[in-house]
Structures are given as C-alpha cells and as structure tokens.
Amino acid sequence: MALGINAAAAVAQRAGLHLDPFKAYNFFVEVEGILVGGFTSVRGLESKMDVQTIREGGVNDKAYKLGGQVSYSDLVLESGLTALDPMWLWYEATLQGRIKRRNGSVYMLNDLGLPTVWYDFFNAWPIEWQGPALDSGQTLVATQRFVLAHEGVRKSRAAMAYSAAVGVASAVGGAL
C-alpha cells in the first residue's frame, strides 16, 4: 500500500525527523522574471469563494450549498525606499494611462535561501502607492507601500511538487 505525502510526513515525524514549517520573514517577490525589490511585508495572499444557499420549494428542513464566484484581495507590498525602484516606474506608467498587467510570484525561502513554496499572481497592476512618513525625530527606514489589483493567486503546482520532493529528500536524508 502506498502512503500519501501527509502520511509519509507523519511517519517521518514519528521516527524523529522534523519537517519544520516555513518562516514568514524569508521571501522575495518577482514580476515577469525580475526581482522587483526587497519587500518587508506582503499581505493579501487571499481568496474567497462565495457560497449560495438554495432552498427547494416545499422542503423546509434542507438547504443546498453551492459554490459561487471567487474573489481575491489586493496584494499589499511594503518595502524600504531605495534609488532603484522598478515598482515606482510601473506605478508611474499606470498613472499616465499605460496600464501594463503583469504576472509575478511571491517566493518563500527555506533556511538555505532556496525557494520552497511560491504563490503566482496573474494580470496584476499597481493601483495605489503610499510614500514614506517623514519625521526628523525618528531613525526608522523610509518605507513605501504599493497595492496591486490582480485576477487571481494560485499556489504554484511546481512549488507543490518541489516541496513534496524536498520533504521526502529531507526525511530520507535525515534517516540515513
């Protein structure tokens, strides 16, 4: 009998091998193959399916639940302000009416700095910018925020296959 990946992970953990969860502070963002900045925060990796309740006439004790439309939250990217700023150039072009929709990914890295899980977003464009709060009484890094509208976020199938392979390799390597 073949074990699924979850069962294999459970067996590996009982054998003393630990498959640690990924850390939320180790990530980077790319848009169309270009690293667009060292972001300090990425929020909005969310989707939600509406649920429609349907009732059958004359049947008062039963309701059917059907899936409806899927909606996605805007992505909010925060970064330190630097002289090299491809996100600003993209946003500036949008303000001038040259909306360029782009695909990208948010990569989560393991402790070795290798991408392990990533989320792909599609047909995104910048819709909002917030500049740094300037205060001469503070010694904080100047940050900016970009908000991207998009048409969907998916966990990459390549990431899922890679994560499974890394998990199995870690489990096998740790057992040796």
CATH classification at residue 86: 2.30.110
Confidence of residue 175 (pLDDT cuts 50, 70, 90): very low
**What total of structural domains would you count in the chain?**
1
- Domain assignment present for residue 60? The answer is no
- Domain assignment present for residue 52? The answer is no
Q: Which helix (H) or strand (E) holds 95?
A: helix 86-95
Q: What is the pLDDT of residues 8-31, one digit of tens each?
A: 666 666 766 556 677 777 888 999
3-state secondary structure at position 112: coil
- Domain assignment present for residue 63? The answer is no
Q: Give CA–CA dist 79/76, Å, rounded.
A: 10
- Domain assignment present for residue 14? The answer is yes
Q: Give CA–CA dist 173/166, Å, rounded.
A: 10
What Rg value do the Cα atoms of the chain yield, rounded? 22
Q: What is the pLDDT of residues 95-145, one digit of tens each?
A: 999 999 999 999 998 888 888 889 999 999 999 999 988 888 888 888 899
Assign 3-state DSSP to the chain and report helix, strand, coil percentages, each to 5.
20, 40, 40
Q: Are strands 153-155 and 115-130 parallel, antiparallel or unpaired?
A: antiparallel
CB contact set of 163 (below 8 Å; sequence gap of 6+): 116, 117
pLDDT given for residue 111 in this prediction: 83
> For the CA atoms of 48, 102, 114, 42, what is the dihedral angle to 10 degrees?
-50
- Domain assignment present for residue 54? The answer is no
What is the extent of the structural domain holding 87?
Answer: 5-47+73-175
Amino acid at 4: G
- Domain assignment present for residue 66? The answer is no
Q: What is the pLDDT of residues 41-86, one digit of tens each?
A: 999 999 999 999 999 888 889 999 999 999 999 999 998 888 888 8
